[in-house]
Amino acid sequence: MNVLIIEDESLAAEKLQSTLHDINPSINVLATLTSVDQSIEWLKSNPHPELIFSDIHLADGICFNIYTEVKISCPIIFTTAYEKYAIQAFEVNSIDYLLKPIQKIKLEGAINKFNLLARAQTNYKADLFQEFKSLMSESNKEYKSRFLCKLGNKIKSVPSNNISYFYSKDKITFIIDKEGHRLPINNTLDEIDSLVDPSIFFRVNRKFVVQFDAIQEIHPYFKGRLKLKLNPNIDEDIVVSTEKSPLFKSWLDR
């Protein structure tokens, strides 16, 4: 299968290409393009691929400008950190809409959908529209804005924007706020990971969910891992695993 990648983040493009080859070594990436203008020029000058993977926000604008300039008939799988373009994506040959950081299982599902549609040769847009409506409903949810903590006989509500990170120790989950206070809460880290805004918070390992502004320093560590220093400081090594490091870097650079 010949595919085209349109992605202006080099790390994200490399990760996507590597994951595609893991899924199916016969997938041939014809080119990796980084801008609207470059993509328009390439599509006007080359035979079109069987499938396009396209980011939405590119170096010189929104990718939809490509598809208004060049008429294409092949399907598109959009890869983006932004949920709000799902309906617009549906209108330009999209068969799936993957949110960054892209999970391998989601990418495999999108490839399988492409293969099924290619074999079926059916009108699939009605079903896809229902999927996009479902996606929009999920992505428009409000993330938790406050967390309730109990301190002895007192109860305190901590705004999410005043939280530097969450961490787990001895089966208890704590909030560390921007003033350095440590406050116990009842939620598990798995619950917190689904309640906070993923554009602001990242689950760096099984013990820490960190807020972007709390990351003070990032250092290369053994075997492709990363070591973090947080503010407020904590007397623990905070290490991002080899597997999570590319996703973490993409999250930092979105």
Q: Are residues 133 and 166 in the same domain?
A: no
- For the segment 196-223, what is each residue's pLDDT rounded down to a tens digit? 988 899 999 999 999 999 999 999 998 8
Alpha-carbon gap, residue 174 to 187, rounded angstroms: 9
With a threshold of 0.85, does the pTM exceed it?
no
Q: Are residues 92 and 185 in the same domain?
A: no
Last residue of a domain, one of 139, 172, 189: 139
Give the pLDDT mean for 244-252.
Answer: 84
Query: pLDDT band at residue 132, thresholds of 50, 70 and 90?
Result: very low
Sign of CA dihedral 173, 182, 169, 229: positive
Alpha-carbon gap, residue 111 to 22, rounded angstroms: 12
**Cβ contact 202:189 at 8 Å:** no
pLDDT, the chain, mean: 84
Q: Are residues 11 and 135 in the same domain?
A: yes
The DSSP annotation for 195-215 comes to: HS-TTTEEE-SSSEEEEGGGE
What is residue 35's DSSP assignment?
S
Count up the domains in the chain and report the number. 2
Per-residue confidence (pLDDT) for residue 133, from 0 to 100: 46
Sign of CA dihedral 70, 17, 137, 134: positive
Alpha-carbon gap, residue 231 to 214, rounded angstroms: 5
Q: Which residue is it, tokens 């990648």?
A: 5
**Cβ contact 225:245 at 8 Å:** yes
Per-residue pLDDT at 119 exceeds 70:
no
Region of poorest pLDDT, from 52-56, 163-167, 168-172, 246-250:
246-250
Per-residue pLDDT at 39 exceeds 80:
yes
Q: Residue 159: which H helix or E strand, with range?
A: strand 154-159
Q: Are residues 15 and 135 in the same domain?
A: yes
What is residue 7's DSSP assignment?
-
Q: Are residues 135 and 17 in the same domain?
A: yes
The strand pair at 182-185 and 201-203 is best described as unpaired
Expressed as residue numbers, the domain containing 30 is 2-139
Query: pLDDT band at residue 96, thresholds of 50, 70 and 90?
Result: confident
Last residue of a domain, one of 139, 168, 193: 139
Q: Are residues 49 and 21 in the same domain?
A: yes
**What CATH code is carried by the domain that includes residue 16?**
3.40.50.2300
**What CATH code is carried by the domain that includes residue 223?**
2.40.50.1020
Q: Are residues 14 and 134 in the same domain?
A: yes
Q: Are residues 89 and 179 in the same domain?
A: no
Per-residue pLDDT at 51 exceeds 60:
yes
**Cβ contact 32:17 at 8 Å:** yes
- For the segment 54-66, what is each residue's pLDDT rounded down to a tens digit? 998 888 888 888 9
**What amino acid is encoded at 235 in this protein?**
D
The answer for residues whose C-beta is within 8 angstroms of residue 135's C-beta and 6 or more apart is 83, 86, 97
Count CA atoms within 13 Å of residue 114 on its CB side.
23
Alpha-carbon gap, residue 79 to 102, rounded angstroms: 8
Q: Are residues 122 and 12 in the same domain?
A: yes
Per-residue confidence (pLDDT) for residue 136, from 0 to 100: 46
Q: The tokens of 155 are what?
A: 């109860």
Per-residue confidence (pLDDT) for residue 83, from 0 to 100: 58
Per-residue confidence (pLDDT) for residue 30, from 0 to 100: 96
Alpha-carbon gap, residue 225 to 205, rounded angstroms: 11
